[in-house]
Amino acid sequence: MTGFDRHRDHYAGLLIAVIGAGAIYEGSQYGIGTLTNMGSGFFPVMLGVGMILMGALMAAMRPAMAGSHGVHAPNWRGAAAIVLAVSSFILLANRAGLAPATFCCVFVGALGTKGTRLTEAAILAIGVTVFGVILFHYGLQVQFPILRGVLQ
Amino acid sequence: MIESGFVGLLHGFTVALEPHNLMWCFVGVLVGNMVGVLPGMGVLSSISILLPLTFSMQPVAALLMLSGIYYGAQYGGAICSILLNLPCHPPHAVTCLDGFPMTKQGRGGVALGITMLAAVIGAAFGIVQMIFMAPYIAKIAFSFGPQEICSLMLLGLLAGATLAKGSAVKGIAMTLLGILLSLIGTDVNTGNERFTFGQLELSDGLELVAVSLGLFGIAEFLKSVNAINPEDTTSVKLGFRDLRPSRADLRQALPPVLRGTLIGSLCSLIPGTGPTIASFIAYATEKKISKTPERFGHGAIEGVAAPEASTHSAVQGDFIPTMSLGIPGDAVMALLLGALMIHGIQPGPRLIVEQPDIFWGLIASFWIGNLILVFLNVPMIGLWVKLLSVPYRYLYPTALFFVCVGVFATRNEMFDVAATLVFGAFGFLLLQLGFEPAPILLGFVLGPRLEENFRRSVLLARGSLATFIDRPISAVFVGMCALLILGQIYAAWRGKKVPVTIPETAFD
């Protein structure tokens, strides 16, 4: 058991309690009101109290009792590729068009797997781009230019 | 009662057999079956990916297709479990135990054949149950005021959070988080903006598609990338003829199928205990009552028949609380309910009366869809087996693109794609911390209605919380909530989890 495993439920409880505290703080700004005249903040504050309670319970439980074991440690190469792939789509789709955004998204995403060759990733990306442009641009009329300035 | 059921069903068939609806039902079950077979693809992420594509469709067609994905995936999931020992779909994890040994003995085809039989019987029973029970439950629920709705929702959320897999406390925390996320945006009662932090894009609230594709799409990809190895299926050769079970096999499998069906239909009525738990209970029961329990785990045909039947009957029964009360039992149902709401249809007991096309059309499409699935699976089993070997490294980059474009297309807003990415990273953090994110979706879909009904009930009672236990029906629901919590505390104290201990390896 690594240190992270041993304290998993403590971190989990802390995360939930912090979100709950945030909900109480932010919710109380909206006006809690009274039971007869509830403000917008009443329900969020109620939820926040519940979350702090759950967080405390989680931290207090024996690890075995929580019955939790998280997933294996993240694969950094794969995770970076996935985050970059989605980011490239966000950055490119409106500025450059659907085709380059799709190509980048699939190409970068595919490189996340160990041992994927560049040509392999490129072929997959071209295939998905052709399919995606036909389906989404011509078929479902999603509002992107295919290639900005060239193919609207 | 019976007569109105038949009239309704007849009407449903006229709706479901319209070429347009029939086509989308076919697309749904086809995609579902594919998703079930492809390793590393989930039902939740597939439904969310296709959800934006349904916005331009009619609500009936949209619902038929999205539901088709759900029950279609159950057919595909069994193939994966029996032939490759891969529990890619939680409800079929238990089928691996005896299904894969049967494959090793060269009887994989028979196991699949029995699965198809179990599927048809289980599904048929589940659908009949829905035809008769859903309108009846809805009729009772007509008289519900905001107090009853509120406490019933509380019961549904609590059951969904505590009875599903994982820790009960963590489940409740996830539900609360989901409700909190649903409050983001403009408060309908006062017009105040809550938790928007000045972001204009948040004033309408978070998009359902962004939340679910983040938590169940991106987060799953982050978890599975480089963790799923391509499967070798060259040794598995199966044809149409291999599926035919012998007379002795049938005689042995039929009673377990019937018992499994019954267990599945009972489980489906309890919110939070969907097909997964049903299949485990069915397997455990079969093993317990068998005269030769030592055969289980070494290719006992009962160990395939009972859980498969219970899965399919529970999957169909799952729709009952969703369609009759507007209260989903699990995350898939929450997503379907969300889809209905996006199409402007208010879920609840009035749905059956006010939207007969949707309710009866859906039921009729279940019959048609299951029939299509049998015809898709039995003669073309070889094709599905080939699909098992599609490598994950091609699947997830393609899926990433569909996620991006789908979320964007929901309302032409790039902000939502960024939100999806944030939820993906957050969902992965939650997985690392041992949370099960599914209850977030339940809370997210029910949250606004819960708050609205809570505020209305307390307002009507002039600020008295006692109103929830003053009204008898509401008091029963509150009492059941209390029982549920006490049961959990007792179970935690005893060091066990109710109602069944599910081997955790089944979910890895």
Q: What is the C-alpha separation between B150 and B460, in angstroms, rounded?
A: 13
Q: Is the pLDDT of residue A68 over 50?
A: no
CB burial of B243-265 (b: ≥16 within 10 Å; e: otherwise) equals: bebeeebbebbbebbbbbbbbbb
Instruction: Specify the pLDDT at position B507.
Output: 37
Task: Tell me the nearest-neighbour CA distance from A105 into chain B, angstroms.
Answer: 6
Task: Tell me the nearest-neighbour CA distance from A152 into chain B, angstroms.
Answer: 17
Report the number of distinct structural domains present in chain B: 1
Burial class (CB in 10 A: 0-12, 13-18, 19+), B145: middle
* Residue % of chain A over a pLDDT of 70: 89
Asked if A35 lies within 8 A of B463 by C-beta distance, the reply is: yes
∠ CA B157-B162-B168 to the nearest 5 degrees?
Answer: 125
Residues of B in contact with A109 (CB under 8 A): 396-397, 400-401
Instruction: Specify the pLDDT at position B154.
Output: 92
Asked if A74 lies within 8 A of B462 by C-beta distance, the reply is: no
Asked if B194 lies within 8 A of A27 by C-beta distance, the reply is: yes
Residues of B in contact with A128 (CB under 8 A): 397-398, 401
Residues of B in contact with A48 (CB under 8 A): 180
Residue B391 Cα distances to A83, B380, B395, angstroms: 21, 21, 7
Asked if B433 lies within 8 A of A87 by C-beta distance, the reply is: no
- Asked whether B476 and B148 are in contact (CB, 8 A), the reply is no
Comparing alpha-carbon positions, the chain A residue that sits nearest to B431 is A70
Establish if B418 touches chain A: CB-CB under 8 angstroms: yes
Q: Is the pLDDT of residue A121 over 50?
A: yes
Establish if B428 touches chain A: CB-CB under 8 angstroms: yes
Q: Where are the domains of chain A?
A: 3-66, 76-139
Residues of A in contact with B403 (CB under 8 A): 86
Q: How far apart are the first and last CA of chain B?
A: 45
- Asked whether A67 and B496 are in contact (CB, 8 A), the reply is no
* pLDDT, tens digit (0-9, with 9 covering 90-100), for B257-304: 999 999 999 888 877 677 888 898 899 999 888 888 888 888 889 999
pTM: 0.88
Q: Give the gyration radius of chain A's Cα atoms.
A: 24
**Cβ-based neighbour number of residue B69 at 10 Å:** 26
- Asked whether B222 and A82 are in contact (CB, 8 A), the reply is yes
Instruction: Specify the pLDDT at position B505.
Output: 38
| DSSP assignment string, B168-226 | HHHHHHHHHHHHHHHT-EE-TTT--EES-TT-GGGTT---HHHHHIIIIIIHHHHHHTT
- Asked whether B411 and B209 are in contact (CB, 8 A), the reply is no
Phi, psi at A33, each rounded to 5°: 75, -165
Hey, which residues 383-402 in chain B have their CB within 8 Å of chain A? 392-394, 396-398, 400-401
- Asked whether B404 and A93 are in contact (CB, 8 A), the reply is yes
Say what the ipTM of the complex is.
0.91
Q: Is the pLDDT of residue B174 over 80?
A: yes
Q: On the CB side of A92, how many CA atoms lie within 13 Å of its CA?
A: 21
In this structure, the dihedral spanned by the alpha carbons of residues B190, B196, B197 and B200, taken in order and rounded to 10 degrees, is -100
CB burial of A67-79 (b: ≥16 within 10 Å; e: otherwise) equals: bbebbeebbeebb
- Asked whether B134 and B352 are in contact (CB, 8 A), the reply is yes
Mean pLDDT of B86-102: 84
In chain A, % helix, strand, coil (3-state, to 5) comes to 70, 5, 30
**Cβ-based neighbour number of residue B393 at 10 Å:** 25
Mean pLDDT of B33-43: 83
Retrieve residue A19's tokens. 């979100």
Residues of A in contact with B194 (CB under 8 A): 26-27, 30, 40-41, 44
Sign of dihedral through CA atoms B164, B74, B339, B211?
positive
Asked if A16 lies within 8 A of B177 by C-beta distance, the reply is: yes
Nearest neighbour of B170 by CB, restricted to A66, A102, A143: A66
Q: What is the C-alpha separation between A72 and B223, in angstroms, rounded?
A: 8
With helix as H, strand as E and coil as C, how does A90-134 read? HHHHHHCCHHHHHHHHHHHHHCCCCCCCHHHHHHHHHHHHHHHHH
Instruction: Specify the pLDDT at position A65.
Output: 45
Q: What is the C-alpha separation between B180 and A51, in angstroms, rounded?
A: 10
- CA nearest to B401, candidates B390, B411, B391, B409: B409
Name the more confident of B287 and B242. B287
Task: Tell me the nearest-neighbour CA distance from A148 into chain B, angstroms.
Answer: 17
Q: What is the C-alpha separation between B1 and B188, in angstroms, rounded?
A: 39
Instruction: Specify the pLDDT at position B477.
Output: 92
In this structure, the dihedral spanned by the alpha carbons of residues B461, B465, B466 and B471, taken in order and rounded to 10 degrees, is 60
Asked if A44 lies within 8 A of B400 by C-beta distance, the reply is: no
Residues of B in contact with A105 (CB under 8 A): 397, 400-401, 404
Nearest neighbour of A78 by CB, restricted to B195, B225, B405: B225
∠ CA B70-B108-B27 to the nearest 5 degrees?
Answer: 25
- Asked whether B283 and B301 are in contact (CB, 8 A), the reply is no
Instruction: Specify the pLDDT at position B143.
Output: 85
- Amino acid B351 reads L
Sign of dihedral through CA atoms B20, B21, B26, B31?
positive
Residues of B in contact with A23 (CB under 8 A): 180
* pLDDT, tens digit (0-9, with 9 covering 90-100), for A30-52: 888 888 888 889 999 999 999 99
Retrieve residue B399's tokens. 């899926």
Q: Is the pLDDT of residue B347 over 90?
A: no
Asked if A47 lies within 8 A of B179 by C-beta distance, the reply is: yes
Nearest neighbour of B421 by CB, restricted to A15, A61, A87: A87
Interface test with A, best of B150, B199, B398, B488 (most A CBs within 10 A): B398
Range of the domain at B102: 2-507
Q: What is the C-alpha separation between B324 and B508, in angstroms, rounded?
A: 34
Local structure of B135: helix, strand or coil:
helix
Q: On the CB side of B292, how many CA atoms lie within 13 Å of its CA?
A: 9
Establish if B465 touches chain A: CB-CB under 8 angstroms: yes
* pLDDT, tens digit (0-9, with 9 covering 90-100), for B361-370: 999 999 999 9
Asked if A78 lies within 8 A of B434 by C-beta distance, the reply is: no
Sequence-ordered alpha helix ranges (H) in B85-145 = 95-104, 108-141
- CA nearest to A93, candidates B469, B400, B281: B400
Instruction: Specify the pLDDT at position A66.
Output: 44
